[in-house]
Structure 1
Amino acid sequence: MRLRGRKKGGRFLELLMEQAKYAVAGMEALSQYMKAPSDDAAEQVSRIEKAADETRRILIDELNRTFVTPFDREDIFALSLTIDDILDYAYSTVDEMVILKVRPNPYLQRMSSLLTEAAREIQTGVTELMDHPAVASDHAVRAKALENRMESVYREAIGNLFGAPADLEHVVDMLKLREIYRHLSNAADRGDQAANVISDIVVKRI
Structure 2
Amino acid sequence: MLKWLLCLFKPRPNRFIQLLIQQAEYTEKGVNALVEYLDNPSEEHAHAVKQMEKEADEIRRILIDELNRTFVTPIDREDIFSLSRAVDDVLDYAYTTVDEMLILEVQPNSFLRRMGSLLRDSAHEVHLGVQRLADHPGVAEDHAVRAKALENRIETVYREAIADLFHRPQDVEHVVEMLKLREIYRHMSNAADRGDEAANILSDIVVKMT
TM-score relative to the length of structure 2: 0.93
| Cα distance, 1:8 vs structure 2 | 8.2
Q: For the Cα contact (< 8 Å) 1:8–1:69, is it kept in 2?
A: no
d(CA) in 2 for partners of 1:193, 1:59? 19
Name the structure 2 match of 1:198: 202
Aligned partner of 2:175 among 166, 171, 176 = 171
TM-score relative to the length of structure 1: 0.95
Name the structure 1 match of 2:83: 79
d(CA) in 1 for partners of 2:102, 2:122? 25
Q: For the Cα contact (< 8 Å) 2:169–2:175, is it kept in 1?
A: no
Name the structure 2 match of 1:91: 95
Aligned partner of 2:137 among 133, 137, 155 = 133
| Cα distance, 1:141 vs structure 2 | 0.2
CA spacing shift, 1:174–1:161, aligned 2, 3 Å: same
Name the structure 2 match of 1:152: 156
Aligned partner of 1:49 among 50, 53, 65 = 53
Q: For the Cα contact (< 8 Å) 2:151–2:192, is it kept in 1?
A: yes
Q: Any unmatched runs of 5+ in structure 1?
A: 1-6
Q: For the Cα contact (< 8 Å) 2:34–2:116, is it kept in 1?
A: yes
| Cα distance, 1:205 vs structure 2 | 1.1
Opposite residue 145 of structure 2, the aligned amino acid is V
Q: Identity across aligned pairs (percent)?
A: 65
| Cα distance, 1:164 vs structure 2 | 1.0
- SS of the equivalent of 1:15 reads helix
Worse-matched range after superposition: 55-64 or 9-18: 9-18
Opposite residue 57 of structure 1, the aligned amino acid is R
d(CA) in 1 for partners of 2:83, 2:105? 33
- SS of the equivalent of 1:103 reads coil
| Cα distance, 1:9 vs structure 2 | 6.8
Q: For the Cα contact (< 8 Å) 2:86–2:194, is it kept in 1?
A: yes
d(CA) in 2 for partners of 1:39, 1:132? 40
- Cα deviation code 1:32-70 (max 9, x no counterpart): 000000111111100000010000000000000001111
Q: Any unmatched runs of 5+ in structure 2?
A: 1-10
User: Pairwise CA RMSD of aligned residues?
Assistant: 1.1
Name the structure 2 match of 1:38: 42
Name the structure 2 match of 1:26: 30
Please tell me whether Structure 1 or Structure 2 has the larger radius of gyration of its CA atoms.
2
Q: For the Cα contact (< 8 Å) 1:8–1:66, is it kept in 2?
A: no
Q: For the Cα contact (< 8 Å) 2:125–2:146, is it kept in 1?
A: yes
User: How many residue pairs align between the two structures?
Assistant: 200
Name the structure 2 match of 1:3: none
- SS of the equivalent of 2:14 reads helix
d(CA) in 2 for partners of 1:179, 1:128? 35
